[in-house]
Chain A
Amino acid sequence: MSRKPVTALPPSNSAATRDPPVLRLQRVLARPDAGARAPMSFTVAVGGACFLTGEAGSGKTALLETIALARPPARGGLELFGKDVARVRPTNRYAVRRRLGVIFQDLRLIDELSSHDNIALAARAAGRRAGSYDREIGELLAWVGLARRADTPAADLDEEGRRRLAVARAVINRPDLVIADEPSGGTGLAILRLLSDLNQAGTAMLIATRDADLAMRSGAEVIDLSATSASGSAP
């Protein structure tokens, strides 16, 4: 773990850090086959930012999936928004998930749906009434630069457009923590700038990337999963 001066993703304001952290990992092993890898312990404060780095196969995606409640940790304790998720009943996990915005490595867009509808899907999943989010979707599409592609099927967007759309979908429900797995995908810094904007607005970030240099330059907390042991705290 190391820290660099703040550039792209500045730490959140200090007032917010008085709240319980949005994420706390205590000796977490994401996969049972983690072998000799040491358990992870770190926290992400309200409005904080943290990069997970490591080469392919180092367990970044598995760890993010664990944090996104897509799989239970093989070992250790995971707290989200001050709640021990092991104590949250499976039928109530939706409430925790609604406070997360997830940008999957494979994006998981619905190709046959338009940009608008891909975002609407997230709003509907969060229990919002049809039509109550259309203005927000318009604003989000404009923010990510897809205002003119609202009716374009996701399959017809280029790679960067798809990633922009994934960002918009992740934040439609105003999450407290955005989890992004290789969000730029080699398409440049535009996606990271969007995430930086969000972070500056107070949304906590946990971003996995293989680009250790980029993470270092961001100034945010960097946790290297290639190391045998990792712990830290993102302000």
Chain B
Amino acid sequence: MNAGGDASDLLPAARPRGPALLLALLALSFVAALAIIGLSAALRSAPAWAARLGGSVTVAAAGGGLESSDAAAARAAEILTKTPGVSRARVLDPAPTDAMISGLVAGADLPGEMGPPRLVAATMAAARPSGADIAALLTRQGLKVAVDDHRTWTGPLERIAMVGAGGAALLVLCLLGAVCGLTGVAASAAVNRSATRLRLLIHLGATDASLLRPFRNAFAIAALWGALLGAFAAAALTGTLVWSPEAAIWLAAHGVEAPAMLTPDGLDVAAALLWPPAATLAGLWAATAAVRGRLRALS
């Protein structure tokens, strides 16, 4: 150093050695950001899905006597339309139902006068009759029906969503802990590499804070870069899979078809950006604790 020049090079090198830490943080951050996107999608979609399920009922109407299944379904839809608490009722396209049932009955002969049952979808209002009430009502009208009140599925669905969201949150916390561990270990190693000079600086009167600062900053920046790169990689991958038509075609060709409601939206993808500040703070805290401990041991 020339007289009067910058003396920052007199201080020990307080940097991570090599790209290993950055790559490890990037990998952790990629997984964590995906988990956050999944967590956000689960928390957002579960209530919406439960609300939609809770507001609908499916009635399977079978023919009997002289009445065909088609006629029974039409009559059930008509009755339901006039029922208080039912907003709308319509007979579903028979083709998918036939396809589904033909698979289930595996070619068995059904009684010709009955035909396969037809499905009626009913959308319910807020003050709505129960599935049992609807079944009783239609039975009293001489119809052979089976009623599937979708409200019975909302509880399990919400529980599954909560378990999934809890698992994702736990994974994120574990990954945050891993960031702390990695950053702390790397910062300790950096201090150990400079131990001789640091010990000298301590004995020459350097404050803990002045020695801590370059290590803390370097490792917090490493955590920030790793987290940013990992989060952006996860957001880019998710965005590509969700919004790219080519990706949608490729996924469909491989039999991957997620329910639209579970598909992450822009807000879910944006939630991945919560990770970099969290990981940076975790790295900052871990580096500070690790370096402070090592400096105390050196002094």
Contacts and interface: CB of A to CB of B under 8 A. Distances in A.
Interface of A: 68-70, 90-91, 93-95, 97-98, 100, 102, 108, 110, 113-114, 116-117, 120-122, 124-127, 130-131, 134, 137-138, 150, 169, 173
21 contacts: A69-B299, A93-B299, A94-B205, A94-B206, A94-B207, A102-B203, A108-B196, A113-B10, A116-B1, A120-B1, A120-B10, A121-B200, A121-B201, A125-B204, A127-B210, A130-B7, A131-B4, A131-B5, A131-B7, A137-B3, A138-B3
Interface string B1-25: 1011111101100000000000000
A57 B26 CA distance: 53
Contacts of A150: 3
A130 B210 contact: no
A93 B296 CA distance: 11
B208 A130 contact: no
Given A68-B203, A91-B208, A102-B203, A124 B3 contact: no
B207 to A, nearest CB: 5
What 5 pairs across the A-B complex have the smallest Cβ distances? A98-B205, A125-B204, A130-B7, A125-B206, A97-B205
Given A93-B299, A116-B1, A130 B203 contact: no
B142 to A, nearest CB: 88
Interface in B198-218: 200-208, 210
Contacts of A97: 202-205
A110 B200 contact: yes
B204 A122 contact: yes
B197 interface: yes
Interface in B167-217: 196-197, 200-208, 210
B83 to A, nearest CB: 77
A36 to B, nearest CB: 30
A169 B204 CA distance: 9
Interface of B: 1, 3-8, 10-11, 196-197, 200-208, 210, 296, 299
A178 B77 CA distance: 101
B203 A70 contact: yes
A193 B135 CA distance: 111
Given A90-B296, A90-B299, A91-B208, A124 B203 contact: no
A101 to B, nearest CB: 9
B211 to A, nearest CB: 9
A67 B8 CA distance: 30
A70 B10 CA distance: 22
A131 B2 CA distance: 9
B207 A108 contact: no
A106 B6 CA distance: 28
A10 to B, nearest CB: 28
**Which of A69, A116, A130, A138 has most chain B Cβ within 10 Å?**
A130
Nearest to A138: B3
A120 to B, nearest CB: 6
B37 to A, nearest CB: 43
Nearest to B201: A125
Nearest to A151: B2
Contacts of B8: 130
Given A124-B10, A127-B210, A116 B204 contact: no
A127 B1 contact: no
A153 B215 CA distance: 26
A126 B203 contact: no
Contacts of A169: 204
Contacts of B196: 108
